[in-house]
Amino acid sequence: MSETLAGAGAGAGAGLGGPVLSVRDLAMRYGEREALRGVSFDAGAGELVAVVGPNGAGKTTLLSILAGIQRPSAGSVSRAPREIGWVPQSPAVYAKLSVAENLELFARLEKVADPARAVERMLEQTGLGERAGEQVGRLSGGNRQRVNVAIGLLADPPVLALDEPSSALDPAQRARLWDFVGSLAAAGTSVVFSTHDVNEVQRYAKRALVLAEGELLFDGSPEALLAAAGEEKGDFEGAFVSFLHGRGHR
Amino acid sequence: MRWLLEKDLLILRRSRLTVALLVIYPVAIALLIGLALSRGPTKPRVAIVNETPPGQTIAVGSEHVAVGRYAEELFSQVQSVHASSRAQAIAAIKSGRVLAAVVIPRNIAARVSSGLSQASLEVLYNGNALEQSLVQSQLSSALAQANLGFSEQIQGAAAQAIGLLLKGGNLGVLGAPPDLIGLSQIPSGLKGIIARQPPGPDRRQLERMDAFAQFAAQNLGLAKNVLSTIGQPIQIKSTLISGRRTPLNTFAVVVAVSISLMFVAVLLASGGLALEREENTLQRLVRGLASREGLLAEKALLGAGCSFLLAFAMLAGIGAFVSLDWSRAGLWLASLALGALAFGTLGVAIGVLAREVRAASLLAFLTSLPLAFLALVPAGAVASGLYDAIGVISFVFPFKAALQALDAAVNQSAPGIGVSLAHLAGLVVLFGLLARVGLRRLD
């Protein structure tokens, strides 16, 4: 096992007020295959943490464990699944229900104290107020994803886990989504997201976790990742690829 | 569970086409099967070519039976279509107007009267293997019935001839002597003559004649009984071992309702669970918003509840046309409720296997329909080994148990309702466990 490279900004969650989320020695085995190997990291309040890596790196497994969908073979997560809002890659919403009905249903299932208020708040926050009565099946992909994110935020969780949230969106929808996620982080929500798009990491993340074959290879700021790859000019995608090559991953 | 159930009902209410199909399709299939079961086999449509001359008779001793009576017997066993010639009959078969044709030949009277060679009919038919098999089975039965009826008439004529021989009188045959003495009257007449005869060879000869006349009269009297025995050597007495004799139409009602109960419950429960996977909401729900057991129970209840209401409405509706014992309505409800629950749990067990509603519906349909047909296969209709295999399959799926429970509730048939309800409860547990294991496999 190689050593995790800690770049500048690593362990930022340990800063002011301490980490909101602490993950320690997380491991996941599927029979002989190790999907995660001793992954540890912290996330602080308002921090945007990107989990990036090639296919099969263990990104979705990591987020599934944070969301409580899978139980790890070993290790711990400081927060209970109910304290972590989860936004799956494909919108997990009922197409035949309206935006408001979807939000209300999940608010009730989340046992939110005031479901009506929570729905109102999320409609306002996501800018979907005018579409509240529209069936989700008739919305655009971008708006459907906003409903998907809104459901993850209904219980006002301190941590939000997003699994490749922008993968099915066009550039304009993607920009709107990141504006919204940025505003959440600015309001103090700790956001952990997985992505294939390394440019999103450079543009939006405060920290990057680089996973490959279940192993955490890097934990630090995007700038530190550039430096670690010897790319000072700012070609983040090239830096990321050469970083992986340098550690024997293709 | 309450919120999920409300959500599913709301989705169902908005899926009008699905609801319409869920109601109309099983009800239509159920009614078709019910109708097919309640109507006995119809008489085959057969052309009859009677080549015998009008008024031709078959002589039985001094009695005569009109050949036309045979044709009448045959007409009563089939839906007869008169054909004046063989060619016309063949044309009718080819056009599909009749299933087959029977030709009664010109020489039938001579053949029957001769007692030397058997009379024969000609059966003409056409068509594929199925139609040929239908002709064989339906016509052989109709001809056997006609033969039996005709032989009874001949037997009656023979009995009359024997009676005349015994009692005497006028034969009514041209040239026959009037007021013939009967065989049974000879002994009493001879007794007086013998008493007046002196002992000697004449008296002994008369005594021998008397003994023969007595013996002949006694045995000829028995011959009438023998004739009726030959006409129908074995009579059939039916005994139902357990339960009550069930009229075919009320059994058809039970079959129709059970099929609807099955389709609606299985399709809704499997589709409801598959919808959670299709919409990607299953993972969101099982991460703590709803327990896996609760989710399965909710889907099973959704299917069971809707199918229960539909099936009861169907039973009550049909009850307006078919005589049903409403004092047993409590038992109907119990059997429908447990049957619906068993089908609902079968539905969720199917639902965990499918990722999409369409796949779940197809799987549910492909599983349910053969099960219903298998459960209706009567003992003796197939080879014993195959029937045993069918029995095992029918035992581990809820259709037969639900059918038996409802049949017991509606018709008081065997086995009792308690056995069937216990069987259904066992199947609820079995399929509930299978569904739970299947859901764990998805984790």
pLDDT, tens digit, 9 for 90 and up, residues B257-282: 898 899 999 999 999 999 998 998 98
Would you say residue A194 lies in a domain? yes
- The pLDDT assigned to B398 comes to 92
Q: Is the pLDDT of residue B133 over 80?
A: no
- Partner B contacted by A69 (CB < 8 A): yes
- Measured between beta carbons, the chain A residues lying within 8 angstroms of B289 are 106, 109-110
A vs B, Cβ pairs < 8 A, gives 54
- Partner A contacted by B442 (CB < 8 A): no
Q: Within this chain, do residues A66 and A171 fall inside the same structural domain, yes or no?
A: yes
B7: nearest CA in chain A?
A105
- Partner B contacted by A81 (CB < 8 A): yes
- Measured between beta carbons, the chain A residues lying within 8 angstroms of B278 are none
Task: Say which of A86, A93, A96 has its CB closest to residue B15.
Answer: A96
- The pLDDT assigned to A8 comes to 47
Would you say residue A64 lies in a domain? yes
Q: Within this chain, do residues A169 and A67 fall inside the same structural domain, yes or no?
A: yes
Of the ranges B25-34, B187-196, B408-417, which one carries the lowest mean pLDDT score? B25-34
Give residues with Cβ within 8 angstroms of B282, minimum separation 6: B276, B295, B442
Give the residue with greater pLDDT, B108 vs B415. Answer: B108
B285: nearest CA in chain A?
A109
- The pLDDT assigned to A103 comes to 94
The structure tokens listed for A124 are 């306002």
Would you say residue A100 lies in a domain? yes
Triad B418, B421, B426: Cα angle to 5°:
125
Would you say residue A85 lies in a domain? no
Which of the residues A60, A65, A66, A69 would you substitute to probe the B interface, choosing the one with the greatest number of B C-beta atoms within 10 Å?
A: A69
Q: State which of B59-68, B125-134, B240-249, B352-361 shows the largest mean pLDDT.
A: B352-361
C-alpha B181/C-alpha B159 separation (Å) is: 18
Q: Is residue B312 within 8 Å of B378, Cβ to Cβ?
A: no
Task: Say which of B3, B10, B281 has its CB closest to residue A108.
Answer: B3
- The pLDDT assigned to B172 comes to 63
Distance from CA of B281 to the nearest CA of A (A): 5
> What's the average model confidence in pLDDT over B61-76?
73
3-state secondary structure of A194: strand
- Partner B contacted by A90 (CB < 8 A): yes
The continuous run of DSSP H or E covering A6 comes out as strand A5-6
Please name every residue paired with B100 in a beta bridge, in sequence order, or none if there are none.
B46, B125
Q: Is the pLDDT of residue B47 over 90?
A: no
Q: Within this chain, do residues A238 and A207 fall inside the same structural domain, yes or no?
A: yes
Q: Within this chain, do residues A74 and A162 fall inside the same structural domain, yes or no?
A: yes
> What's the average model confidence in pLDDT over A49-72?
88
Q: Is the pLDDT of residue B409 over 90?
A: no
Residue A104 belongs to domain spanning: 91-157
> What's the average model confidence in pLDDT over B93-98?
84
Which of the residues B7, B291, B439 would you substitute to probe the A interface, choosing the one with the greatest number of A C-beta atoms within 10 Å?
A: B7
- Measured between beta carbons, the chain B residues lying within 8 angstroms of A108 are 3
C-alpha B225/C-alpha B229 separation (Å) is: 6
Which of the residues A83, A96, A103, A162 would you substitute to probe the B interface, choosing the one with the greatest number of B C-beta atoms within 10 Å?
A: A96
Q: Within this chain, do residues A20 and A113 fall inside the same structural domain, yes or no?
A: no
Q: Tell me, what CATH number does A37's domain have?
A: 3.40.50.300
Pick the last residue of a domain from A157, A173, A188. Answer: A157
Would you say residue A86 lies in a domain? no
Give the residue with greater pLDDT, A9 vs B2. Answer: B2
Of the ranges A12-21, B176-185, B368-377, which one carries the lowest mean pLDDT score? A12-21
Q: Is the pLDDT of residue A102 over 90?
A: yes
Q: Is the pLDDT of residue B91 over 70?
A: yes
Q: Within this chain, do residues A57 and A176 fall inside the same structural domain, yes or no?
A: yes
Q: Within this chain, do residues A133 and A176 fall inside the same structural domain, yes or no?
A: no
Q: Is the pLDDT of residue B26 over 80?
A: no
First CA to last CA distance, chain B = 20
Q: Within this chain, do residues A70 and A9 fall inside the same structural domain, yes or no?
A: yes
- Measured between beta carbons, the chain A residues lying within 8 angstroms of B279 are 92-95
- The pLDDT assigned to B158 comes to 79
Q: Is the pLDDT of residue B335 over 90?
A: yes
- The pLDDT assigned to A2 comes to 45
> What's the average model confidence in pLDDT over B354-381?
84
> What's the average model confidence in pLDDT over A16-31?
84
- The pLDDT assigned to A15 comes to 45
Q: For residue A89, report the phi and psi dihedrals to the nearest 5 degrees.
A: -60, -50
A69: nearest CA in chain B?
B287
- Partner A contacted by B13 (CB < 8 A): no
Pick the last residue of a domain from A141, A157, A173. Answer: A157
Give the residue with greater pLDDT, B67 vs A7. Answer: B67
The reply to whether residue B287 touches residue A93, judged by beta carbons under 8 angstroms, is no
C-alpha A92/C-alpha B10 separation (Å) is: 18
Taking alpha carbons only, the member of B320, B325, B309, B343 closest to residue B409 is: B325
- The pLDDT assigned to B174 comes to 57
Q: What is the pLDDT of residues B384-403, one digit of tens each?
A: 788 888 888 889 899 999 99
- Partner A contacted by B281 (CB < 8 A): yes
3-state secondary structure of A180: helix
- Partner B contacted by A95 (CB < 8 A): yes
The reply to whether residue B287 touches residue A68, judged by beta carbons under 8 angstroms, is yes
ipTM above 0.90, yes or no: no
Q: Is the pLDDT of residue B233 over 60?
A: no
Would you say residue A84 lies in a domain? no
Would you say residue A47 lies in a domain? yes
Of the ranges A162-176, A213-227, B110-124, which one carries the lowest mean pLDDT score? B110-124
Distance from CA of A141 to the nearest CA of B (A): 14
Q: Is the pLDDT of residue B334 over 80?
A: yes
Task: Say which of A97, A106, A108 has its CB closest to residue B10.
Answer: A97
A136: nearest CA in chain B?
B279
C-alpha A99/C-alpha B243 separation (Å) is: 57
- The pLDDT assigned to B239 comes to 57
Strands (E) located in B347-437: none
Task: Say which of A91, A94, A110 has its CB closest to residue B289.
Answer: A110
Q: Within this chain, do residues A139 and A171 fall inside the same structural domain, yes or no?
A: no
Task: Say which of B3, B7, B281 has its CB closest to residue A92.
Answer: B281
C-alpha A240/C-alpha A148 separation (Å) is: 29
Task: Say which of A69, A70, A94 has its CB closest to residue B11.
Answer: A94
- Measured between beta carbons, the chain B residues lying within 8 angstroms of A90 are 280
Q: How confident is the model at residue A99 (pLDDT cuts 50, 70, 90)?
A: very high
Q: Tally the domains of chain A.
A: 2
> What's the average model confidence in pLDDT over B85-109?
85
Q: How confident is the model at residue B424 (pLDDT cuts 50, 70, 90)?
A: very high
Q: What is the pLDDT of residues A150-203, one digit of tens each?
A: 898 888 889 999 888 887 777 877 888 888 888 888 888 899 999 888 888 888
Give the residue with greater pLDDT, B142 vs B360. Answer: B360
Would you say residue A45 lies in a domain? yes
Distance from CA of B442 to the nearest CA of A (A): 11
Q: Within this chain, do residues A135 and A236 fall inside the same structural domain, yes or no?
A: no
Pick the last residue of a domain from A132, A157, A182. Answer: A157
Distance from CA of B9 to the nearest CA of A (A): 11
The reply to whether residue A93 touches residue B290, judged by beta carbons under 8 angstroms, is no
- Partner B contacted by A73 (CB < 8 A): no
Q: Within this chain, do residues A113 and A164 fall inside the same structural domain, yes or no?
A: no
- Partner B contacted by A167 (CB < 8 A): no
- The pLDDT assigned to A1 comes to 42
Q: What is the pLDDT of residues A73-83, one digit of tens each?
A: 999 889 888 88
Q: How confident is the model at residue B379 (pLDDT cuts 50, 70, 90)?
A: low
> What's the average model confidence in pLDDT over A116-144?
87
The two beta strands, B45-50 and B79-82, are: parallel
Distance from CA of B295 to the nearest CA of A (A): 12
- The pLDDT assigned to B428 comes to 95
- Measured between beta carbons, the chain B residues lying within 8 angstroms of A106 are 284, 289
> What's the average model confidence in pLDDT over B114-142?
74
- Interhelix angle B398-411/B417-442, rounded to 10 degrees, is 150
Q: How confident is the model at residue A14 (pLDDT cuts 50, 70, 90)?
A: very low
The reply to whether residue A92 touches residue B7, judged by beta carbons under 8 angstroms, is no
Q: Within this chain, do residues A69 and A179 fall inside the same structural domain, yes or no?
A: yes
The continuous run of DSSP H or E covering B60 comes out as strand B57-60
Distance from CA of B283 to the nearest CA of A (A): 7
Q: Is the pLDDT of residue B53 over 70?
A: yes
Which of the residues B279, B298, B440, B441 would you substitute to probe the A interface, choosing the one with the greatest number of A C-beta atoms within 10 Å?
A: B279
